[in-house]
Structure 1
Amino acid sequence: MPLNILRVWLSAYRVEVALFLVAFVVLASFSSQRFLRQSAAPHFIYQSQAWLEGRLDLDPKLLPNLEDWACVRLVDGEKVRCEGRLQTTDRWYVSFPPFPSVVMLPFVALHGYQFNDTSFGVIVGALAVALFYSLLRFLAKEGETARNRNENIALALILAFGTLFFYCAIRGEVWFSAEVMGVAFTCLYARNAVRAHRPVLAGVFFSMATLTRTPLLFTGLFFVLEALCPEPGSRLEQLKSLGRNWKPAARKVGLFALGAAPLGLLAAAYNFYRFGSLGEFGHRFFYNNRVNADIDRTGLFHWDYLPRNLEAAFLKLPRISLEPLKLSYDPHGLTLLLTLPLLVFLLVPRTRPRLHWPLWLTVAVCALPGLFYQNTGYMQFGFRFSLDYTPYLLLLFAIGGWSLRNRAVLAAVALGVLVNFWGAVAFRGYTELVRNW
């Protein structure tokens, strides 16, 4: 009987399985020697192991480096960032949302501090590609897109190899692992949020996504819009009808909040215990970090950061030197017009179906906080924070009516794959600089 169940499941999801295998093989190949080794920034592993040892803070004597860890010192009853000479009473924590550590927990229980976050990230990346195809297939089945199976396969492969996802998924490292896992949870959240048809599950996956990548908190707008206006036709009329019958929408939003609450409350309590604030994940407590001066002067978010983030996202170009002939990138960013050329076609869609504005508004609320953030994402190949909303951008293309056979579209896809192939091969980040891999 189990064999028959497996055979039926494989038959139903054979495309997803094939995409997973193809993505895994390609990503593992480009990961190269990294695939067999733990990355130089395995922060989530250390957090998982600390939990298994029954402690919420980390043992500073075991930390592999001092890059992007939070250090908290108690001064006159107030929790402040560690400065100057370290003290034995200082407490060390991972300065990132903790859900990736939850996902890694059973594997760290088996392998301890030696768990390989790089190969794990490749597996999660391959799974995210399959989940994105599953989301596209679901939208086609529901009549939200007119894409056929082959087009959906192509779009899933574009996510894998024609966006910044490519280089992020092959590296491990705390910064990129979170981005890739955030894409996987975004696919699960969006599938359950469409038409608000599974509000509790949407809430659960939304909380997982948010506790992986904080900017994904703002994508909760997508569910709210779907709960308020789930049907084709005039959105204004649907909003007017809420005055007469608001209970179904309110019930869905309530169930969504119910699904998101358990993890959200646990994370808030964890944040308060560590940093004295319900919404603080640790960035204000970076130990000896280059960004501390900006954070102290203007905070984590400020208008002053907008110009440099806009430059990193849209204006940074490759650098070409002639003597010797060399092509290089700026580690602060690279224009999205090169790393995601399909973006151009989103500005001139051929169709504007029901999901057009919900998706655009979701992209906007998710992207704007990052443009006011104190860090561009350095070091990176391309503006990596855009990966938080890249699935929504590709969904916009899926519903936008442009044919994948259009020559201009094909040229944009080819350019995106070429540029991101370059990123997968050429990007030298913390792993290479620290371990010279």
Structure 2
Amino acid sequence: MIAMKKKFAQYTLPLLILVFAIFSGLIIHRASWFVQDKHFSLLALSFIKNDLFLSPNNFPPGDYVDYFGKQYLFFGPMPSILLMPPVAIWGKNFPQITLSFVSLAITYIAIFLLTRKLKFTKIESIWLANFFVFGTVLYFVGLVNISAYVVQAVGTAIIVLSLLEYFTKRRWLVIGILVSVAGATRITLFGTAIFFVLELLRNRRKPGFPKSMIYLLIPIIFSLAILGIYNFRRFHSFFDTGYTRNVSVLDKNYLNNQLGWFNPVHIPANLYVLLVMAPEPIKKPSVEFALQFPYLKANGMGLAIWFTSPLFLYLLLAKKETYTFPAAIGIIVLLIPSLLYMGIGASQYGYRYSLDFLPLLFLVLLSAFKKGLPSFAKFLIFVGILFNLFLMLSIWNSYPLLSFWEYLD
């Protein structure tokens, strides 16, 4: 009986965090009512009608391409493909954010199963699933209905599923398909393939190596070919995704694209946001320097990963595992496009581009807990989640949890 009570007590805090995070997420989502994109639902409707362009009667407010009088999306087509069945049933107003909500749930379950497979206890796996979903920038992109965020929530879930498949059944064709689907969601995620290729090469002396490599690469090559044709049909180029034709950027002459869309000149600023940028103080007006409640706000340009996810400080204690070197190479490959990219933030909580490599970074992090998840790590998870929930919408000067009752009706 005493053992059962002790075990129940151990489960209580992580489960309370789970419930509080879900409740807070509902409040945060409702408080972000002012952004309600529907790019993918609109494109899904076009796909149903055998069109690749948006209907002229259904333009989104921005983030699209105007090319020879027709309007296209530069995002990957997979979210719209996934939305075709519900849009066919319920119409163009079917909320695309549903994809993000489902992706968060899938990610939570997959992280729990992945960490269990890697020998963590059930309680530790709940803690780690809480961290990955609620203690990183993933929760922000999963709650706010901006199309660029939906892409990242969906892509992250698919990559986590590919890692779960690798550490469980290891069916290389399934892994290849998952990477292909992720890449068709957000093209940079094709870079995750480098992790699996390196893992195969590490085990190249085992029977079936050539067959496994073929199974992995065929879906990826096929997906890249289909995307190339998709691009050619729209922009008369296999390699032009339309990304540099975004009307929301081209109609402004003060954005970073003036220095190049992808340019080494952007690396220092991106590294600063990823590793250094701190929350800003909220100062009292008309005095030299005094703070007023709630004292801190996040900068919409971003926030360093140590603030949004302090558990990553344990990376300093990471140990060598068979998969850590391939994961590190994969992280570097996935990080390069983000560091070169001109669009740091303006409306992001944390450094959301870190989601490209977050699953692999999480793998490396797990190596620091070979003896189990220490109490201080659980404390950092708890603090990080609270920090994120209260500051998430402060990029828009909103703190909905301080007046949560207003969003309950």
TM range (shorter): 0.7 to 0.9
Aligned 8 A contact 1:45 1:101 in 2: yes
2:343 alignment partner AA: N
Q: Which amino acid aligns with 2:150?
A: S
2:236 is matched with 276
Structure 2 Cα separation of the partners of residues 254 and 327 of structure 1: 52
Cα separation, 1, equivalents of 2:252 and 2:30: 34
Q: How does 1:373-388 map to 2 (within 5 A)?
A: 373-388=341-356
Q: Distance in 1 between matches of 2:120 and 2:113?
A: 13
CA displacement at 1:396 relative to structure 2: 1.8
What displacement does 1:246 show? 8.7
Q: Which runs of 5+ in 2 are unaligned?
A: 1-14, 285-290, 401-406
Aligned residues: percent identity?
23
SS of 1:312's partner is helix
Contact 1:40/1:64 (<8 A) preserved: no
| Other-structure match for 2:219 | 259
Q: CA deviation at 1:120?
A: 3.9
1:415 deviates by: 2.8
Instruction: From 157, 162, 167, give the equivalent of 2:135.
Output: 162
TM-score normalized with structure 2 length: 0.83
| Secondary structure at the counterpart of residue 327 of structure 1 | strand
Give distance in 1, aligned partners of 2:256 and 2:228.
22
Aligned to 2:278: 317
Deviations 1:299-318 (A, max 9, x none): 43111111111111112111
Shift of 1:352: 1.6
| Aligned residue number for residue 335 of structure 1 | 304
- Offset at 1:40? 2.4
d(CA) in 1 for partners of 2:153, 2:256: 26
Match status 1:63 vs 2:59: yes
Does the Cα contact within 8 Å between 1:200 and 1:259 map onto a contact in 2? yes
Q: With structure 1 as the length reference, what TM-score do the two structures score?
A: 0.78
Q: CA deviation at 1:416?
A: 1.4
Summarize deviations over 1:109-154 as a string: whole Å, max 9, x none: 11211111234422321222112222223xx2xxxx3322221121
Q: How much is the aligned-residue C-alpha RMSD, in angstroms?
A: 3.0
Is the 8 Å Cα contact of residues 155 and 394 (structure 1) preserved in structure 2?
Answer: no
Contact kept, 8 Å, 2:338 with 2:353, in 1: the verdict is yes
Report the Cα distance in structure 1 between the residues aligned to 2:296 and 2:313, rounded to whole angstroms.
Answer: 24
* CA positional deviation for 1:55: 1.2
Displacement, 1:320?
Answer: 0.7
Q: How does 1:22-61 map to 2 (within 5 A)?
A: 25-26=22-23, 29-33=26-30, 39-61=35-57
Structure 1: 5+ residue runs without aligned partners? Answer: 1-17, 74-89, 231-241
Residue 335 of structure 1 and its aligned partner are, at CA, apart by 0.8
* Map of 2:268 onto structure 1: 307
Check conservation: 1:38, 1:115, Cα contact below 8 A. Answer: no
SS at match of 1:92: strand
Within 2, Cα distance between the matches of 1:163 and 1:102?
A: 27
Q: Who is 1:186 aligned against? A: 159
Letter of the 1:43 counterpart: H
Rounded to whole Å, the distance in 2 between the matches of 1:393 and 1:369 is 16
Deviation at 1:31, TM superposition (A): 4.2
Tell me the residue number matched to 1:130: 109
* Kept after mapping to 1: 8 A contact 2:275/2:305: yes
- What amino acid sits opposite 1:154 in the alignment? W
Which residue among 347, 367, 377 is the counterpart of 1:399? Answer: 367
Tell me by how many angstroms 1:177 deviates: 0.7
Q: Give the aligned residue type for 1:109.
A: A
- 1:206 is matched with 179
Q: Which secondary structure does the structure 2 equivalent of 1:97 belong to?
A: coil
Measure, in 2, the Cα distance between the counterparts of 1:132 and 1:54: 37
Evaluate the alpha carbon distance shift between residue 404 and residue 279 of structure 1 in structure 2; reply closer, same or farther with a 3 A threshold.
farther
